[in-house]
Amino acid sequence: MKLFFDFFPILIFFIGYKFFGIFAATAIAILCSFLQLGFYWLKFHRIETMTLLSCIIITVLGGFTLLFHNVLFIKWKPTLLYFIFAMAFLISGFVSKKSLLERLLDQSLKLPAAIWQRLNYIWVGFFLFLAVLNLYVAYHFSTNTWVDFKLFGIIGLTVLFLFGQGLYISKFIDPSNIKGKES
């Protein structure tokens, strides 16, 4: 359910684009991002940093898209967000004993510190790859292709990446260390 909630603005943007065009889809995505923040606040009485950051970026770049009637601003949104994620993962490895990935997953998964660090750097690389790939598609293909890529390509690549991560991690998992497992 949370995954759907996180991808809700992307899905609404895609639907808005297919029915009304890029500028209407941009306005709809901005509105949906604020609705997402409001819903999250009402349900949990807090706001996730990633959701807030995404809302700010889509509001600023989407606002520039609408104000200047230039689609390149909204096309930069995923690149900027992925770059920020990459930097957050990279910096976490230097400012804390635990990487960001380890802090996110160590409650459910026990791995050696060196593996956590390696995985964290792999995530940095993945986010940088997505940032550059998004720019490539944005500048070399039509807006229609970019919108399809944004929904299907990014999600597909993320699923493949997560599957690969799962295979890699499985080599290091001791089944007796999995939290919630009854012995």
Distant-in-sequence, close-in-space partners of 20: CB < 8 Å, separation ≥ 6: 28
Mean pLDDT by 10 residues, the chain (183 residues): 71 94 96 92 90 93 98 97 95 86 82 89 97 98 97 94 93 68 49
Q: Please state, as a whole number, how many other Cβ atoms lie within 10 Å of the Cβ of residue 3.
A: 8
pLDDT of residue 93: 80
Amino acid 183: pLDDT: 46
From the number of C-beta atoms within 10 Å of its C-beta (0-12, 13-18, 19+), residue 48 rates as: middle
pLDDT attached to residue 178? 57
Per-residue b or e along 168-179, where b marks 16 or more CB atoms closer than 10 Å to that residue's CB: eeeebeeeeeee
pLDDT of residue 101: 84
The pLDDT assigned to 105 comes to 81
Asked if 169 and 119 touch (Cβ cutoff 8 Å), the reply is yes
pTM of the model: 0.88
What's residue 100's pLDDT?
86
Do residues 46 and 57 make contact, with C-beta atoms less than 8 angstroms apart?
Answer: no
pLDDT value of residue 107:
78
Q: What is the pLDDT, as a whole number, of residue 112? A: 86
Domain boundary assignment for the chain: 1-70, 71-174
